[in-house]
């Protein structure tokens, strides 16, 4: 079955530096199956038209396809209403949207935001901008030596000034799967809303937003086999109704005059301008691909590869894995002796193995760990035990080439 899945990803058949291509960078972006690629091609060949604005058939067909994607996302993440699904450019825009409009309505001087040390820059900088604007204070949850959140510290951070908690579902560096439902329950016990950065979690975990009871869940299509440039903000209806629009323009209005403007109903209030129709259609196809494969099977495959990688990487002399949480997704960050991660990554690329190197947009975490960066291998549905074996062989060769 796995070979049939690999055959659905055309890019995996190409050569890189005259070597068979081994792609181990799915945490940065997943490769796209043929069904997703074909869905985009089909849209431009058969449906290309602007949505929501035309009475002609092509526009109506395109609108139907776009809105079907919204309904598909609603079902995939267990949202109660389709209008709780807001299409964005990606996780980053979804978080910025919430930060901006939530800040306008609820932040005053010396309010507090609880955030974890393992956050991606996209879930740090928007809240820092609020801090500059409103005098808000960021309070940081630390981690232990395995890369797990310090729960007792988390509990102690809550005060009457806490306005929101923002946390990643899965760390893009450590692979740690946070106890997000437990965190949300504790926040709600203090009447504090919770935003989840689900960029990594959407592919590696079974997400049910009603079961989690999160107030906001943000993710990107390109992390889950869909195109770049499409993302989702899930928000509880009560919050989306209460918050003001993020941007002004077409589609988000009900009526405009020079005396004032009234705003459209959900979800259109938050979708100003021409949307990424092809991206939504591609996301629809990607969800179909995941469902056809079986999400449970994909998660189990990722976990099996992770365990195998942990075992094999211990055979590499001088290699240290960064992040060994008990609950972990298919991400392995590591250091190779005293070598700079970029040097290691460059050598691996020469051997045909694609990994990510650097601080992974998590510089505060790197500072906390007292390192400059890591080499990161991350897995997708198309990866195999052989890919891990090639990574290990390439690292052993790199050891020799680097003179260790």
What are the tokens at 181? Answer: 């439902």
Q: Are 170 and 302 in contact (CB under 8 A)?
A: no
What are the tokens at 289? Answer: 């691909």
First to last CA, the chain: 40
SS3 of 202, please? helix
- State the CB neighbour count (10 A cutoff) for residue 87: 24
CA dihedral of residues 102, 177, 91, 344 (deg, nearest 10): 140
CA distances from residue 161 to 112, 136, 155, 191, 346 in whole angstroms, order as listed: 6, 10, 14, 11, 47
What are the tokens at 140? Answer: 């940081």
Among the listed residues 214, 218, 293, 361, the single catalytic one is 361
Question: What residues have CB less than 8 Å from 291, skipping those under 6 apart?
Answer: 76
- Residue 220 main-chain phi, psi, to 5 deg: -115, 145
Question: What residues have CB less than 8 Å from 98, skipping those under 6 apart?
Answer: 195, 216, 218, 233, 235, 243
- How far apart are alpha carbons 301 and 102 in whole angstroms? 38
Q: Is 293 a catalytic residue?
A: no
- State the CB neighbour count (10 A cutoff) for residue 384: 16
Q: Are 131 and 283 in contact (CB under 8 A)?
A: no
Catalytic residue annotation: 361
């Amino acid at each position: 079955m796995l070979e049939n899945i690999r055959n659905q990803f055309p890019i995996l058949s190409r050569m890189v530096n005259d070597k068979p291509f081994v792609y181990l960078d799915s945490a940065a972006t997943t490769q796209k199956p043929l069904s997703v690629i074909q869905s985009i091609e089909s849209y431009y060949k058969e449906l290309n038209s602007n949505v929501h604005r035309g009475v002609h058939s092509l526009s109506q067909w395109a609108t139907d396809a776009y809105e079907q994607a919204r309904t598909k996302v609603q079902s995939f993440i267990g949202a109660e209403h389709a209008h709780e699904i807001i299409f964005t450019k990606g996780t980053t825009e979804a978080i910025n949207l919430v930060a901006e409009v939530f800040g306008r309505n609820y932040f005053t001087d010396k309010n507090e935001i609880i955030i974890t040390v393992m956050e991606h820059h996209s879930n740090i900088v928007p809240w820092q901008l609020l801090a500059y604007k409103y005098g808000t204070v960021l309070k940081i949850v630390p981690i232990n030596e395995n890369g797990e959140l310090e729960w007792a510290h988390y509990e102690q951070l809550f005060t009457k000034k806490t306005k929101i908690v923002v946390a990643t579902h899965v760390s893009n560096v450590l692979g740690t799967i946070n106890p997000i439902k437990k965190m949300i329950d504790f926040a709600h016990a203090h009447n504090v809303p919770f935003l989840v950065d689900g960029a990594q979690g959407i592919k590696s975990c079974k997400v049910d937003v009603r079961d989690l009871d999160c107030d906001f869940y943000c993710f990107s299509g390109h992390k889950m086999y869909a195109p770049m440039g499409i993302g989702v903000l899930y928000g509880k209806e009560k919050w989306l109704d209460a918050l003001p629009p993020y941007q002004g323009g077409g589609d988000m209005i009900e009526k405009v005059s020079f005396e004032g403007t009234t705003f459209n109903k959900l979800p259109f209030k938050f979708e100003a301008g021409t949307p990424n129709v092809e991206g939504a259609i591609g996301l629809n196809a990607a969800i179909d691909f995941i469902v056809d494969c079986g999400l449970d099977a994909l998660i189990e495959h990722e976990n099996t590869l992770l365990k195998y990688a942990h075992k094999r990487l211990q055979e590499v002399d001088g290699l240290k894995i960064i992040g060994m949480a008990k609950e972990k997704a298919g991400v392995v960050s590591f250091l190779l002796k005293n070598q700079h991660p970029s040097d290691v990554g460059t050598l691996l690329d020469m051997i045909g193995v694609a990994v990510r190197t650097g601080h992974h947009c998590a510089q505060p975490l790197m500072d906390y760990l007292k390192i400059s960066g890591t080499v990161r291998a991350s897995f997708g549905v198309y990866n195999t035990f052989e890919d891990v074996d090639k990574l290990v062989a390439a690292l052993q060769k790199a050891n020799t080439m680097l003179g260790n």
